[in-house]
Structure 1
């Protein structure tokens, strides 16, 4: 038995994800028989007969006979639901539509969506939306793109082609070969781009045709159902009369009332299915009835499951239903293994990360780890005081950080973070969160280097200028020529032979005190320890004392040193 493929819609905010989904749902209802589209929990099912009617003769042109029962669209568009609906090794979505506003091209969340599609290895097609916004576009309601394109004037056709090839170039830069759908000869080698409009419905027939056709041709084996019911938790909700329930997208097998339910929380939970609930059919929506109870449900489907003890369930967790109690232990191990997939190498010095769902956490761990950012602890839910305390135990200031994706922070946690000087970052876009942390880290690291540089004795070489001794002792004051490096106030000095002669107390140039003098400067210095004529003499060359501690610091900020300073360190055999 072949199930319907699960389709997710991703893209940048305001690029028309919801409009397109509404268009697919609304238009198919209009042209299909009443009740032809079925509303699931968190998903919309479009039967293949409706797809065939909607696509007209397009499928016949491709010579594809449809065996899939239809298409199941995830109702909540965007990368949040895509990452939440996970299974081991990827997303439960079989296919995805990457929406790109043709008038704007790639945007930050487009990049993020593409990264998720890469990470989860999900096949996708590109919907180049909002063609109706091209100046002078003549709209044809619910028309095939090919028919609509044919009636446009040459200027509009040219503008559309230019924008499509900009899109092709942008995808190519990111490692994907793409082309307009009707020009592709091998769909295994190129990503199909379908120009369309959610507002007018233009191009939507081709979009559905591509999804159905690609599913039929390339995903047939993946869509074969097995005996165990498997799914992913979309949301955990309290429902009056049922208590805590879970909204699940079922992607394999069949679930029945009375089945054993094995589901992921902090650890695998075992319970029994008390009720399977789905929204009433569309024709019954006016009836004051929230859910219909069903005895059995087959994948792919969106279903609400009521069962005891679901309070600890986490969104994104795996779900398995079996009727035979003898299978429960193996399923518990299976769910445990799935939960362990989100495990990572814990570092002693690392950041704390929190996310809203298991899938988001998994994505976050991969993205941060790939960027070389060590993670000390990862978890799901709001940022609590313990997260701040865990962040406070780090010795490394730049890792005393808590990063939250799509989560809030308790006020007492914020207060504690201020007291303990633990930095909290929040964002609902993972890549933006990474960017904010990286910018802060790099800026703080740079500032620290500058501070370190300011505190360090710098390599320098000076010569006491003959005839410019203004005072012999207590303190000795004389003119010097800075031969190499940087002379700093407070720098300990020695003769080239290695004998210490004390530190530089003051530096003056043109009668004014200065903190440092660079190569080529001629300045007056005062030193409290030496006496001119005893420890030092006119014409002597003095160099700064570089201890092991100073050298370690200088190596840490080596790129900040002047070429003259670096040369001195090389001359002295220290680097």
Structure 2
């Protein structure tokens, strides 16, 4: 049986009807039409319906007929006057439903499932407006095959290897695939919220990914040794510094204003606590291991810069300039200019781009 709403015309017992199915259009004959009894006549769960000969619009009805096991929720139901007309209607319904259901193994895209054709159409439309590709879009719970498709996409693009489910669940065998593959699953019963949750996840994950990539680079930092705060002169040197611009992290190499290498930051402490980053305006203690002797190679009050490799400068300018603060960009410019005094070809193209970026920011 299926539950349906007759919103136009009439349906009779024995009518030839056509509706959409997962394996194509279904042509079948109505065996019984069951209307819900009025509330005051409902005596037992087994006796809740009246068996009627015909139903007029508009009414909700339970239809009993053969071969309805694979009927698609939300499909139109049409009454045909003959077998010939039924075949014509079946072709129209198949075309209509086929335009809503998507199965494209050549596309790296989402797997989208909904409870009815109507909600599927709305969900797919919203995703397409946002230019989000779709690999599979269909009605019903997530199947094992669809979970595998999502896992395949996830290996190439984890942002598109995701599943969006509107008002439907996940088959047990599909759950195992999702757990083992790391495919991100989104479920909800509000279409726009479901799409927004997915977009927010993508944006947040991409932000984290950029942060991880940025952490691999030596960033621009400018510090000053605070007079009276030299705790150890060498091996390692431990000094108090103020961050004049940019950032510093443990592992960053340092250089003097003339470009001479001083060593590498081992540790940063703020008020006795070890931290992994210090930013503009902070005053912290750092330990430096390398070719440094405070009083010979550097003195109290001296300015020190992070010593950025050329390939890191190129990455910072080409890929991450929009993630850097204005003060960090200015310090990066100073560092490149120091390096170019001994190597006029140092990061030439990046230096030109950097000057343009800073110039635009100043306007």
- Normalising to structure 2: TM-score of the pair? 0.65
Indicate yes or no: 2:288 matched with 1:526: yes
Q: Tell me the equivalent position of 2:327.
A: 564
2:163 pairs with 1:402:
yes
Task: Name the CA shift for 1:268/1:548 in 2 (closer, same or farther; >3 Å).
Answer: farther
The residue that corresponds to 1:325 in the other structure is: 83
Q: Distance in 1 between matches of 2:28 and 2:101?
A: 28
Q: Distance in 2 between matches of 1:509 and 1:279?
A: 75
Select the residue among 358, 362, 381 that pairs with 2:121: 362
- Alpha-carbon displacement from aligned partner over 1:28-57 (angstroms, at most 9, x marks no partner): xxxxxxxxxxxxxxxxxxxxxxxxxxxxxx
How much does 1:314 deviate? Answer: 0.9
Q: Deviations over 1:317-345 (max 9, x none)?
A: 12233224343443233112211342469
- Paired with 2:36 and 2:325, the residues of 1 have a C-alpha distance of 75
Aligned to 1:380: 139
Deviation at 1:459, TM superposition (A): 1.6
CA RMSD of aligned residues (A): 4.7
Q: What CA distance in whole angstroms lies between the structure 2 residues aligned with 1:564 and 1:262?
A: 69
1:261 lines up with 2:17 in the alignment: yes
Partner of 2:348: none
**Alignment correspondent of 1:249:** 5
Match of 1:420 in 2: 181
Q: 5 Å matches for 1:60-75?
A: none
Q: Rate the CA distance shift 1:430–1:325 in 2: closer, same or farther, 3 A.
A: same
SS in 1 for 2:142: coil
In 2: Cα distance, 1:280 partner to 1:420 partner: 46
SS of the counterpart of 1:505? strand
Residue 567 of structure 1: SS of its match in structure 2? helix
Task: Describe how 1:69-468 pairs up with structure 2 within 5 A.
Answer: 245-252=1-8, 255=11, 260-275=16-31, 277-279=33-35, 290-294=49-53, 299-343=57-101, 350-370=109-129, 374-393=133-152, 394-395=154-155, 396-411=157-172, 413-434=174-195, 437=198, 444=205, 448=209, 451-462=212-223
- Alignment gaps of 5+ in structure 1: 1-244
**What CA deviation, in whole Å up to 9, does each residue of 1:157-203 have, x standing for no partner?**
xxxxxxxxxxxxxxxxxxxxxxxxxxxxxxxxxxxxxxxxxxxxxxx
8 A contact 1:462–1:542 mirrored in 2: yes
Shift of 1:397: 4.4
- Contact 2:238–2:285, Cα closer than 8 Å, also in 1: no
- 1:489 matches 2:247: no
1:62-93 Cα shifts (integer Å, max 9, x gaps): xxxxxxxxxxxxxxxxxxxxxxxxxxxxxxxx
Deviation at 1:310, TM superposition (A): 2.0
Question: Superposed, which structure 2 residues align to 1:518-557 within 5 Å?
Answer: 518-519=279-280, 521=283, 524-528=286-290, 530=291, 542-545=305-308, 548=311, 552=315
How many corresponding residue pairs?
326
Structure 2 stretches lacking a partner, 5+ long? 335-350, 358-363
- 1:237 is matched with none
